[in-house]
Amino acid sequence: MTTSAITKVSEQLCFGGKQIRYKHQSAVLHCDMQFSVFLPPQAETARVPALYWLSGLTCTDENFSSKAGAQQFAAKLGIALIIPDTSPRGDDVPDDENAAYDFGLGAGFYVNATQAPFNKHYKMYDYIVSELPELVEAALPLTDKRAISGHSMGGHGALVIGLRNPERYCSISAFSPICNPANSPWGIKAFNGYLGEDRSQWQQYDASLLLRDAKKVAPILVDQGSADNFYPEQLRTASLVEAASLNDVNAEIRLQPGYDHSYYFIASFIGEHLHFHAQYLK
């Protein structure tokens, strides 16, 4: 079934709501894309607010949909979940030269690439901030109230997009985010490839650098597992803690003892994140 510019691929009943997958042609990314949506039961009779979830390296929209267990909380709280893919897709889309997992396909880093050959398709920042909300808010029973969350590379994306657009997102949360990509091996590789060597262009995509100077900051909740194999080298959580204390913002950054980087960690705390966002989405 086609609803304006988006076409339904699949639909399942879930906790009284609907778990739906759509495909569409992205004008921003110049390729066909898929994304997933959970519509809570309340969306049958009224428009509902939405939490955007940005996934991490190697993910599609299906990792969070099938592993996090978020739908049971979203159904009770009357919140839609909008779950995009992590990069442009398709045979025409350039990938890492060695098909590595941390650059190219599945690793868009939620930036607008400026460097050839990536600058035609890799405009994930504009896709998440503008194109996708315009599409889903026109086609689905959604209000324009939005919150944003994500994991790892997606936690970086959620923090950066939420911090740069305080008028568009009422709350921000993240699991195991890459907090200071300008100084992490994953981030340095991605920013060099997508943005080039001029580090002044990297600052707009680094949550710790943005948070130091941000004027208006939505409430933030971050969870980081102490047994995460990417912590602290890749994730650099201490930089975000320092920036939050320098700017005196409403940010709770929690170290959760014994948890790792996996979706078992996300599933353990996703209910608390949904309840956190529900306070501000009402």
Ligand X SMILES: N[C@@H](CCC(=O)N[C@@H](CSC=O)C(=O)NCC(=O)O)C(=O)O
The residues binding ligand X (CB under 6 A) are: 56-59, 63, 67, 101, 151-153, 261-263
Closer of 25 and 101 to ligand X (Cβ): 101
**Nearest alpha carbon to residue 63 among 82, 85, 78:** 85
Q: How far is the CB of 213 from ligand X (least distance, A)?
A: 25
Q: How far is the CB of 111 from ligand X (least distance, A)?
A: 14
Closer of 152 and 239 to ligand X (Cβ): 152
Closer of 67 and 212 to ligand X (Cβ): 67
Q: How far is the CB of 69 from ligand X (least distance, A)?
A: 13
Q: How far is the CB of 150 from ligand X (least distance, A)?
A: 9
- Annotate the chain with three-state secondary structure: CEECCEEEEEEEEECCEEEEEEEEEECCCCEEEEEEEEECHHHHCCCEEEEEEECCCCCCHHHHHHHCCCHHHHHHHCCEEEEECCCCCCCCCCCCCCCCCCCECCECCCCECCCCCCCCCCEHHHHHHHHHHHHHHHHCCEEEEEEEEEECHHHHHHHHHHHHCCCCCCCEEEECCCCCHHHCHHHHHHHHHHHCCCHHHCHHHCHHHHHHHCCCCCCEEEEEECCCCCCCCCCCHHHHHHHHHHHCCCEEEEEECCCCCCHHHHHHHHHHHHHHHHHHHC
Closer of 43 and 57 to ligand X (Cβ): 57
Active-site residue, from 55, 152, 171, 176:
152
Q: How far is the CB of 148 from ligand X (least distance, A)?
A: 16
Active-site residue, from 151, 156, 261, 277:
261
Q: Does the active-site annotation cover 198?
A: no
Q: Does the active-site annotation cover 261?
A: yes
Q: Which token pair is 34?
A: 């898929």
Active-site residue, from 228, 239, 273, 277:
228
Closer of 40 and 265 to ligand X (Cβ): 265
Q: Does the active-site annotation cover 156?
A: no
Give the residue numbers annotated as catalytic, written as ranges: 152, 228, 261
